[in-house]
Structure 1
Amino acid sequence: MKKIREYMEEEIRQAFLEAGYEAEYGKVTLSNRPDLCEYQCNGAMAGAKAFRKAPIKIAQEVAERLKDSRWLKEVSVAPPGFLNLTLKEESLAEYLGRMQREDLGLTQVEEPQTILVDYGGPNVAKPLHVGHLRSAIIGESVKRMSRKMGHRVLGDIHLGDWGYQMGLIITELKQRQPQLPYFQEGADDFPEEAPFTIGELEEIYPTASQKAKEDEAYREEALEATKQLQYGHKGYLAIWQHIMKVSTADLKKNYDRLKVSFDLWRGESDAQKDIPDMVSWLKKEGLAHMDQGALVIDVAEDTDTKEVPPCMIQKSDGASLYGTTDLATLIQREREFQPDQVVYVVDKRQELHFVQVFRAAKKTGIVGEDTKLSFLGFGTMNGKDGKPFKTREGGVMRLEYLIQEIADNMYEKISANRTVSEEEGRETAKLVGLAAIKYGDLSNQASKDYIFDVDRFTSFEGNTGPYILYTIVRIKSILARYEEAGGNLDQPVILPPAGDSEKELMLQAARYSEVMEGAAQELAPHKICAYIFELSNSFNRFYHDTRILGEEDAAKKESYIGLLCLTRQILEECIDVLGFEAPERM
C-alpha cells in the first residue's frame, strides 16, 4: 500500500510535467508550518534556477493544474514559491479505511535481506550493569524494526568469553581450591556441576583482577593460565565451560527482565578456531605484512582527513587482538549466514576500531563489496551531574538494581493514584517501569549522550514511556466501555473528520507506514518515539475536544471508535518494536 504522501506526490509530479517542468520537483514533505498547511512542496524554488523563472510563477502554474485533485482540498501559493497543501477529508478517511484492512498500510520490503545485529557484548563472569543498557535496548529495537519490514534478522550477543579474564578466574580458583581435579596433572574426568555459584564467580573475578594489578607474579600466572586455556588445557577448558554455563544462565535471566533476546549466543571463543587459518591465508596472499614485529593490514585511504592506523592482526609475541577476533567472526558469519548487512551496536568511542575492521574485511575479501557493514555507535548514559550514571555510593549500578528501583518508583505512583491489589500493582509497575527505561533511552538519538533522569522518565506527563502507556490504556478503557454497552469493535467505518482535532489525529495516524519504514532504513528508533509522542498528543487533544461515547449520532460515534481502534493498534505496534508493552489499566 502506498504512503499517503506518495499519492499526493503522484498528482503534483504530473502537474509539474503538464506545466512544462521536471516531475522530480514534485516532492512532498510534511509542513514546517502546520499553522498554515498540512504538507508542502518546495520544488518551484529548485526549478527556478534551472528554468530561469521566478519560483512563484512556477508554483502558480502548478497550482492551477491541481484544481481537480483527487487528494488535495486546497493548494495555495506562498512567497517566494511554496506550494501549501491541505488534504481532502474524504480522501483521508478513505486512506485510513484501507489502513484498517491492509496491515496499517505497511508494505514489507520486496527483497528481504539477511541482517545480523551484533549487540549485547557483555563479559561473562560479570554482572550486567547500566553500561550494558544502551547496546541491549538499541540493538533489540533495531532487530525488531528490521523484522517488521520483512527482513530475516539474527541477533547475536557476542559474548566476551575468551582471554585474560578467564586466566584470572582460573588462577584465583586454583589458589583457593588447589585440590580440585581441574588442576591435577593428567586428570580428564571432571564434575558436571560448577565449583562455584554465580554470586561466588562475580566475587572471584574482581578479586583476581585487583590482585593482578598489585602482584606481578600473580599476573604472570594468570597470563600463563590464559595461554594454557587457549592451547586446550583439559582442566582449564572444563572450568571455562562451567563459567559459560553459570554466566549465560544469569545473563539470560537479566536480559529477560529487559525483554531482550538473542538468536545466537556466540562469543569471541567461537571465532578462535578460524584465526590460525585466517592468519596463514593473509600471509600467503600478501594481504597482511610485518611491521615492527607485528602482523598488520594497511587500511588508510587517500581521502582520510584523520590518521587511520593499520589493523593489527597479531602482536609481536603471536597474541591475537580484538581486530583479529572480529575479522574471524566475520569469516564465521559469512560461512554460516551470508548476511547482506551486519550491524554493530557498540559504544561510539569504538568507531576507529570498526573503521579499521570494516576496511580490512573489505580489502581482504572476507566480506564482499555488496555486504554492508554498519557501525551504530551510541553515546553514554549519564547521571544528572553529567557524568556516567552511578549508584548513590559512587559505584557502577547493576542493571537488575536499576530495573527494580524504577519498578518500585512506578509502584508507589500507581498505588497513590488508585486502589489496586499489590499483585496487579507490581505487575503493572514492571511494565510501566520498563517502558520508562526503554523510552527514556530510545527517545534520544543513539549517538548522543543523555541524562538518565529517574524523576522525568517515570512521569506520566511529557515525552515519557509512562505517558505513552497511559494514552494506550485510556483508549483501551473507552473501547471496553463501548463494548460493554453493546458496541462492536470489528473495523467500524471511519468517516471524514468534522473537526480540527479529529483531522489532526487522522493525519498523524496516516503517517505510520512512512515513519516505520524510515526508522528501519536509518536504524533510528528515536524517530518512532517522536512519532508516537506526537500521535499520543493528537489523541489526547481529540479526547478532550470530543464527546466520544456520549455522541448521539450512531454513525459518528462508530467512526470515532474506528479511529480509536486504529490509533491503539498503531501505538501498540510501535511500542512492540521499541521493546515494551502496555498494561490493561494503570
Structure 2
Amino acid sequence: MKKLVDLISEDVKEAFIQKGYDEKYGIVTTSNRPDLCQYQCNGALSAAREYKKAPIVIAEDIVEVLKENSRFKEITAIMPGFINITLSDEFLAEYLNNMNREKDFGCEKDSAPKKIIIDYGGPNIAKPLHVGHMRSAVIGESLKRIFKFMGNEAIGDVHLGDWGTPMGLVIAELKRRKPDLIYFDESYTGEYPKEAPFTISELEEIYPAASAYSKENPEFREEAKQITYLMQNGHRGYMALWKHMQDVSVTDLKKIYEKLNVSFELWKKESDAQPYIPDMVKYFKDNGYARISDGALVVDVKEETDTKEIPPCMILKSDGATLYHTTDLATIVERMKLFNPDHILYITDKRQELYFETVFRCAKKTKLVNENTKLQFIGFGTMNGKDGKPFKTRDGGVLRLEYLIKMVTDEVYRKIMENRTMEEEEAKEVASKVGLAALKYGDLSNQASKDYVFDVERFTSFEGNTGPYILYTIVRIKSILEKFKQTGKTINPDSDILPAKSSTERELMLQITKFSDMIHAAYEELAPHRICQYIYDLADKFSSFYHETKIISEDYDDKRQASLILMISLVEGILLTCIDLLGFEAPDRM
C-alpha cells in the first residue's frame, strides 16, 4: 500500500506533465504551516528558473488541473508560488479503511530484504551490567525489531568480552584467595567440578579488587598476564575456571537483559574469533596487505582524500600479542563464514567512531568482506545526571543496570500506590511494565548520537512526552473498547470508518495516515526516536479527540458508532505495534 504522500505526489506530478513541466517538480511534502494547509508542493519555485516563468504562473497551471480532483478538498496557488493542499475527508477516510484492512497497516516492506547482524551488547564476563551498557542494548533491540518489521533477517549478537587480561586478573585473584582449589594443582588430571567455585556476587567483587590490587603490585599484574597467556594457550585448570566464569556470568546477564526486554539470537564471544586469527594474519602477510612498523604488524588504511589523520590498523604488537583490532577483524571473518550477512551494524559509545572507521577500512581493503557488504557504526551519546555529567551513584560509583531498572520501577510503583487504584500485587506487575516503558522511551525519544539527562521524575510522569503517557493512552482505548463490548453491541464486518465530523477527528485521522512515512524514516535513518515522536503526536491527537467526543454514546446511529470504534481500534493497533518496535508493552490497566 502506497504512502499517502506518494499518492498525492502522483496526482501532482501528473498535473506537471499535463502542463508541459518535468514531473520532478511535483513532489509533495507535509505542510510546514499546518494552520494553512495539510500538504504543500514547492516545485513551481524550482521550475521557474528552467521554464523562465513566474512561479505563481506555474503554480496556477497545476492548480487548474487539480482543482476538480476528488482527493482534494482545497488546492490553491499562493504567492510567490506555493501550492497548498487540503485533502477531502472522504479520501482520508478511504485511506484509513485501506490501512485497517491491510497487514501491518499497509506499510510496504523493503523490496530487497537483507541479512543483518547487529552487534549491540558488549558486556564483559565477570563484570555486572551497568548504566553504560543500557543504551547499546535498548537502541540495538529497537533497531533489530525495526529491521525485522521491514522484512529483513536481523540477528542480534551480544558479543561477550571474555578473552583479555581481565580474565587473568580474576583467576590470579582467585588463586591468591583460594590457592588450594584443584584448578591450581598442576598435577591434577581428573575431571573438574561442574559447579563453579564462586557465585556471581563473588565474581563481580573479585574483578575490581584484582584490578585495584594489580595497580599497586606489579608482580601480581605480571602474574595475571602470564595466567592470561597460559589460559589462551589451553591450560586445563585456567580454562575450566574461564568456562565457569562464562556460565555464571551468562546466566546472570540473561536475567538482567530479560528485565530489559532485550534478547539476542547469538551469544558469541571474543574467544570464538580466536581460531580465525592465525589464518587471517597469514592472509594479510601473504597478500601484501600488512607491513612491519616498529616491530608491529599493521595495515595502512589512510586514503588520499582524508582530511584528518587516520592511523594504521594494528594487527599484532611487536611482541606478537593481538589487540581489539585483531579480534574484531577475526569476528568479521567468522560472521562472513557463518552467516554471509549483507550488513553488519555495531552500536557502541560514539567515542569509538575512529576505532571502527579503522577496522572497517581494514576489512574492506583486505577483502575480508564482499564488495557490497555494508559495515556500519552507530555511536550513541551518554546518559547524564542532572549535573550534566555521566550518570553516577550518590557516592560517585557506576550504577548497576539492575539497580537503575529497580529505581525507575519503584518510582512508578510509588505513584500508582499513591492513587490506591489497585492491589499491591497488581501494582507491582503494572509498575514493571510502566517502569520499563519510562526507561526505554526516555532513552529512545532522544536522537541516539545525543547526550541526554536522566530524570527519573520526568521519565515516570504520566503526562507529557513520556512512556507512561503513551501507555496510559493505550489503556484508555482498551477501556473504551471494553465498555463498548459491555453494551452488547457488535461491529458489522462490512463497517467502514466514515469521514471526519470535527477538526480533532480530522487531525487524528491525518496523524494515523503518517504511520508508513514514519516507519520508513525510522528504518532508513536508523532512528527509533522517529517512532517516539510519532506516537506522542498520535497519543496527543487522540487525547484532544477523546475529550471532545463521546465515543460510547446512545446518540449515534450504528454506522457512526462503528466508525468511531474502528478508528480508535486502529489507533490502539498502531500504538501497540510501535511500542513493540521500541521494546516494551502495555498493561491492561493503569
- TM-score, structure 1 length as denominator? 0.99
User: How many angstroms apart in 2 are the aligned matches of 1:186 and 1:357?
Assistant: 43
Give the secondary-structure state (helix, strand or coil) at the position aligned to 2:66. Answer: coil
Aligned match of 2:185: 184
| Contact 1:504/1:538 (8 A) holds in 2 | yes
Find the counterpart in structure 2 of residue 198 from structure 1: 200
CA distance in 1, matches of 2:140, 2:492: 35
Write the mapping of 1:432-443 to structure 2, written as runs, cut at 5 A: 432-443=434-445
Alpha-carbon separation, structure 2, partners of 1:58 and 1:374: 43
1:297 to 276, 294, 299: 299
> Within 5 A, what are the aligned runs for 1:542-557?
542-550=545-553, 552-554=555-557, 555-557=559-561
- In 2 relative to 1, CA 527–70 (structure 1 residues): closer, same or farther, beyond 3 Å? same
Give the structure 2 partner of residue 6 of structure 1. Answer: 6
Provide the rounded CA distance (Å) in 1 between the counterparts of 2:478 and 2:334.
Answer: 47
Return the offset for 1:283: 0.5
The aligned counterpart of 2:27 is 27
Aligned to 2:309: 307
- Give me the whole-angstrom Cα distance separating, in 1, the residues matched to 2:584 and 2:554: 33
Shift of residue 418 of structure 1? 3.8
CA offsets per residue over residues 416-452 of structure 1, 9 Å max, x none? Answer: 2242111100000000000000000000000000000
3-state SS of the aligned residue for 2:585? coil
Rounded to whole Å, the distance in 2 between the matches of 1:333 and 1:58 is 55
- Equivalences for residues 256-295 of structure 1 within 5 A: 256-295=258-297
CA distance in 2, matches of 1:382, 1:543: 36
Q: C-alpha displacement at 1:110, in angstroms?
A: 2.4
| Larger mean Cα displacement after TM superposition, 51-60 or 6-15 | 51-60
Deviation of 1:306 after TM superposition, in Å, equals 1.0
Q: Distance in 2 between matches of 1:490 and 1:356?
A: 61
Q: Shift of residue 488 of structure 1?
A: 2.4
Q: Pick the aligned partner of 1:494 from 487, 492, 497.
A: 497
Specify the alignment match of 1:120 in structure 2: 121
Match of 2:326 among 316, 324, 329: 324
What residue is the counterpart of 1:226 in the other structure? 228
Q: Matched residue of 2:551: which SS?
A: coil
1:548 CA displacement = 1.1
Q: How many residues align?
A: 586
**1:128-165 deviation line (CA, Å, top 9, x unaligned):** 11111100000000000000011001000011111100
Whole-Å separation in 2 of the counterparts to 1:436 and 1:257: 13
2:464 match: secondary structure: coil
| CA RMSD of superposed structures (Å) | 1.0
Distance 1:490 1:330, change over 3 A: farther
Structure 2 CA distance, aligned partners of 1:264 and 1:359? Answer: 25
Aligned amino acid, residue 500 of structure 1: S
* Map of 1:527 onto structure 2: 530
1:384 to 359, 366, 386: 386
The partner residue of 1:565 within 564, 569, 572 is: 569
- Tell me which amino acid in the other structure corresponds to 2:121: G
Query: What CA distance in whole angstroms lies between the structure 1 residues aligned with 2:107 and 2:491?
Result: 21
| 1:336 aligned partner | 338
- CA positional deviation for 1:234: 1.2
Contact in 2 for aligned 1:141/1:577 (Cα 8 Å):
yes
Q: Report SS of the residue matched to 1:396.
A: coil
User: Which aligned pairs between 1:394-473 and structure 2 lie closer than 5 A?
Assistant: 394-473=396-475
Question: Cα deviations across residues 250-275 of structure 1 (Å, max 9, x unaligned)?
Answer: 00000000000000001111101101
What's the offset of the Cα at 1:111?
A: 2.2
CA positional deviation for 1:77:
1.5
Unaligned runs of 5+ in 1: none
Task: Please say which of residues 66-75 and 273-282 is displaced more in the overlay.
Answer: 66-75
Write the letter of the residue equivalent to 2:198.
Answer: F
Superposed CA offset, 1:503-524 (max 9, x none): 1101100111121122012110
Runs (4+) of structure 1 exceeding 4 A deviation are 489-492
Q: Following the alignment from structure 1 to structure 2, what is the Cα–Cα distance between the partners of residues 24 and 295? A: 52
Instruction: Name the amino acid aligned to 1:536.
Output: A
How far apart are the structure 1 equivalents of 2:492 and 2:345?
Answer: 40
Tell me the equivalent position of 1:363.
365
Show structure 2 runs of 5+ residues with no match: none
For 1:152, the aligned partner's letter is E
Structure-1 separation of matches of 2:530 and 2:33? 20
- The 10-residue stretch of structure 1 (311-320 or 513-522) with the greater mean CA deviation from structure 2: 513-522
User: Whole-Å Cα distance in 1 between the matches of residues 218 and 399 of structure 2?
Assistant: 30
> Secondary structure of 2:552's partner?
coil
1:149 aligned partner: 150
Select between 176-185 and 501-510 the one with higher mean Cα deviation. Answer: 176-185
Number of the residue aligned with 1:508: 511
Separation (CA, whole Å) in 2 of partners of 1:535 and 1:436: 18
- 1:489 and 1:565 in contact (8 A); partners too: no
Match of 1:575 among 558, 579, 586: 579
1:541 aligns with 2:544: yes
What TM-score results when the alignment is normalised by the length of structure 2?
0.98
Distance in 1 (CA, whole Å) between partners of 2:361 and 2:187 is 45
The CA deviation string for residues 508-545 of structure 1, in whole angstroms up to 9 with x for no partner, is: 00111121122012110000000000000100000011
Matched, 1:170 2:166: no
Contact 1:379 1:449 in 2 (8 A): yes
SS in 2 for 1:301: coil
Deviations 1:182-205 (A, max 9, x none): 111143421111110001101111
Following superposition, the deviation at residue 124 of structure 1 comes to 1.1
Distance 1:443 1:487 in 2: 39
- Structure 2 Cα separation of the partners of residues 576 and 112 of structure 1: 21
**Cα shift at 1:490:** 6.9
SS of the equivalent of 1:65 reads helix
